[in-house]
Amino acid sequence: MLASAPALAATGQEETTRTSVLLDSGWRFHRGDPRGVDGRLDYDVRPVVERSADGRVADARPDEAVRVQADRAVLKPWVLPTANRFIADPAQRHRRPAREPDVGDVPFLRADFDDSGWQPVTLPHDWAIAGPFIADGPYGGMGRLPSWGIGWYRRSLDIPAQDQGRRVYLDIDGAMSYATVWLNGRLVGGWPYGYNSWRVDLTPYVEFGARNQLAIRLDNPPESARWYPGGGLYRDVRLTTTAPVHVAQWGTTVTTPEVSERSATVHLAVEVDNTTGAPVQVQVETEFFELDAQGRPQGEAVARIPAVGFDIVAGGSTKATSRAQIASPRLWGPPPTQQPNLYLAVTTVRRGGRVVDRVETRFGIRDVQWDPDRGVIVNGEHIVLNGVNQHHDLGALGAAFNRRAAQRQLEILRDMGVNAIRMAHNPPDPQLLELTDRMGFLVIDEVFDSWEKKKTPLDFHLVFPEWHEADLRAMLRRDRNHPSVILWSVGNEVGEQYDGEEGAAIGRRLVQIVREEDPTRPATASMNWAKADMPFPAEFDVINLNYQGEGIRQEPEFEGTERIRTPPSYPAFRAAFPDKVIFGSETASSLSTRGTYLFPVTPLQSAPVRDHNGGGDSARQLVSAYELYAVDFGSSADKVFATLDRHPYVAGEFVWNGFDYLGEPTPYYSARSSYSGLIDLAGFPKDRFYLYQARWRPDLPMAHILPHWNWPGREGEVTPVHVFTSGDEAELFLNGVSQGRKKKGPYQYRLRWDEVVYEPGELHVRVWRGGREWTEARVQTTGAPARLALEADRTAIGNDGRDLSFITLRVLDAQGRAIRNADSLVRFEIEGPATLVATDNGDPRDLTAFPSPERRAFSGMALAIVRAVPGQSGTVRVVARSEGLEPATVELRVGDDGEPR
């Protein structure tokens, strides 16, 4: 509600409108089913997955042979009706069986079951992130954390008697996975896909004026993902109560088809549900407000849509459409050249003169055009896509969404120059899109990583035939009012690329669903194999290429092998689709371990990771941070930049990827996390960060020298020095002696001094741009570790139980210089009303459990994440200690007036 806005004062007698209560506390959690269930709570019969003696996954029997063995009851017939709202054809909707499922006596469902011995948890909750890590076995792909299995969540709901006659809904932003919801022992519904948001109607099962027992069961399969999926109720859960006549779930749609500096036409569609047994007449009106930078309404309404009356049949829905004009609109666009201005639409529904519902819809006014020659045009300005891919985990916090942690990631990415995010490869938490709206990032919203063909034995392909329409429509309806979303992606590297017309037909069906739900944005799917002359790419509005633009495995090392090799493909797609925008939806996939430099250094612009070429050290599971090495199918940043510059019609790129993420630990499977991020798992930039910053923020005077200069034992040996800079010319000095002045040539993006001979001391680089002095940088040989230093990203945090402070530790020498190769063992201690949530250091090999207060510094750094005790205020002291070193302390202020988030 907007009590501060006088325009919203009620003009007639009001009934109680909707309420939405966050159900974050009061939960009890337990792993595993009670004894004697014997599969009666399963959603469906799954293929049997077995492993060979060496731990490799193998299907024990063909999928079809296993699935037909459904000689026992499953819950699918009772769960499928949850999808009905998102199935367009009424004939295809599901009817709930008249009888209740026969699950027997399940004690976890009973109100009198004693769950006091269960673990108390606060949502969002990821049951696996605390570990311990699984050091041995075939678990690297999913992050070496125990995310699979069955989990139960229970809590009571006290629903007052005066709510009798109202509708009561449970809204779940994400549950991993195969969720079923039970109230007072009865199955309400559920949703298999772990990444989507969804709703169940509790009303038929509620005992008003009494204590209601809510239970949610999750069944997260093993071998269900190529990365760490997390486990549990890892996003927010809310209890929403409405009048019988109310705006439908995600029932408002705002579009801005006509935008200019003088005015904007705003189209509004409002869908209203009538859950009563009689027809009703309603009136709907809407007011529009500007929002300030903190998302708060300011001033009077800038436009109004007067009340529109219409009838709704019993048990039906009706959609009302209308329009408004906003004068001199404040446009939404990406910084730094534009501002992400936002508006709020407040829609009021009246029945018989009484207010029965009121909903708020945030939106932005912007014009996005897709030009095949230039790319993306936002509000008339050509915006090159400087994008990254992001997985959904938040490092040491796991899959449990935290708004501040996500905001921190976006802030770090923005500092690098990122203006676009691809959500890889699933719908994000809705709060993440609220952040991208407020911060001005352009977003590709992606729904599926697989269709009917599997990538892992138990992934989404098992439910795609029955759930793809509901999952896609649910994402589109939830997210279509976000101005940051500019493109829908219906698939990533799906196996159907290989299927000719058959695979293209599935893509065509998905694109049609997108157009039915949102005709204002284009649709795409990312392709790592389909070629320009195949039917698959023709089905999409925009051409998204993964790695094909630069060419796949074009290095001499792959000549004569049986590996898939693809020549640079931008020209072929340009020739085949001259009327479509083309960009790289995944580029580079370069690999590195932060602060680790191996020798020799390849003279090539791009090379695969191999022990013999200085790219990797398989014995120690390290990848060189000279940033010249990539996964076999990928390329270095330098090679990608050159390809983009040679093909100016390409709209930009989305690097694989922004942050390291849990799971998929290429190239070393025994690690916990990926090596491909521009930023490591702890949020510390790798050297590659500065290579992209130099390109994406060309007006920022910056220079970055690598490697560090602590190399005892390498005296007299060649130790190449590279400089990443936004300048175009530089001179390098070692202990005051010039190593030569170099200038970037065509398609060169770094300056290399590959013949420098190591001697302790100082590297100093002076940089010019356009013949004028631009900036300089220094790297020095440091002394032995002497003390620790702590720096908090925010020294004042809220005490809502969600706000966080991220505290960076550095190991320093006696002169206060950071030692970039220190590995001191550090212990973090907390004094005051706060807790240590997790620690990390960015080392993909470190299998120390994240909640551990002890962490070894990696490449001179470590991270502590601190959260205030809910409801408490005061001063918090965080102390870091290490044997033989001077400790460090940082103070935080916690309270209900923490820094704005």
Contact 80, 94 (CB under 8 A): yes
Q: What single-letter amino acid sits at 629?
A: Y
Instruction: Identify which of 402, 405, 479, 493 has the alpha carbon closest to the alpha carbon of residue 444.
Output: 479
Q: Which helix (H) or strand (E) element contains residue 114?
A: none
The token pair at 368 is 């996005």
Which amino acid is residue 584, in one-letter code? G
Taking a C-beta distance cutoff of 8 angstroms, is the pair 315, 278 a contact? Answer: no
Active-site residue, from 285, 446, 493, 731: 493
Phi, psi of 403 (to 5 degrees): -60, -45
CA atoms within 13 A on the CB side of 666: 18
Sign of CA dihedral 191, 195, 201, 207: positive
Strands 796-798 and 854-856 turn out to be: unpaired
Instruction: Give residue 701's identity as a one-letter amino acid code.
Output: P
Q: 133: exposed, middle or buried (C-beta count within 10 Å: 0-12, 13-18, 19+)?
A: middle
- Among 505, 510, 547, which Cα is nearest to 525's? 510
Distance CA 584, CA 664 (A): 21
For the chain, how long is the longest CA-to-CA vector?
Answer: 90
Q: Which two tokens stand for residue 492?
A: 């990533």
Q: What are the beta bridge partners of residue 361?
A: 345
**Cα angle 147-153-159, degrees, rounded to a multiple of 5:** 150
> Distance between CA atoms of 612 and 617, rounded to whole angstroms?
9
Contact 287, 7 (CB under 8 A): yes
Tokens matching residue 110: 């009973």
Do the bridges between strand 119-121 and strand 179-183 make them parallel or antiparallel, or are there none, so unpaired?
Answer: unpaired
The residue among 556, 687, 692 whose CA lies nearest residue 613 is: 556
Q: How far apart are CA 418 and CA 424, in angstroms?
A: 16
Which residues lie closer than 8 Å to 23 by C-beta, 6 or more apart? Answer: 123, 155, 237, 238, 239
Active site residue: 287, 496, 586, 664, which one? 586
Do the bridges between strand 485-492 and strand 442-446 make them parallel or antiparallel, or are there none, so unpaired? parallel
- The residues that bridge with 154 in the sheet, in sequence order, are 28, 215
Q: Hey, what amino acid is at 484?
A: S
Position 555, amino acid: E
CA atoms within 13 A on the CB side of 413: 30
Q: Does residue 729 carry a catalytic annotation?
A: no
Active-site annotation holds for 493: yes
Cβ pair 338, 615 in contact under 8 A: no
Q: What is the dihedral of CA 520, 515, 357, 3, to 10 degrees?
A: -30
Residues 690 and 724 sit within 8 Å (Cβ to Cβ) = yes
CA atoms within 13 A on the CB side of 96: 14
Tokens of 549: 């633009």
Are 636 and 542 contacting, i.e. CB atoms less than 8 angstroms apart? no
Return the ∠ at Cα 672 (arms to 669 and 675), rounded to 5°: 75
39-to-45, 70, 105, 201 alpha-carbon distances in Å: 9, 11, 13, 25
Q: How far apart are CA 637 and CA 635, in angstroms?
A: 7
Q: Other C-beta atoms within 10 Å of 62: how many?
A: 9
Nearest Cα neighbor of 740 from 717, 714, 721, 759 is 721
Q: Hey, what are 259's tokens? A: 């935008």
The residues annotated with a catalytic role in the active site are 493, 586
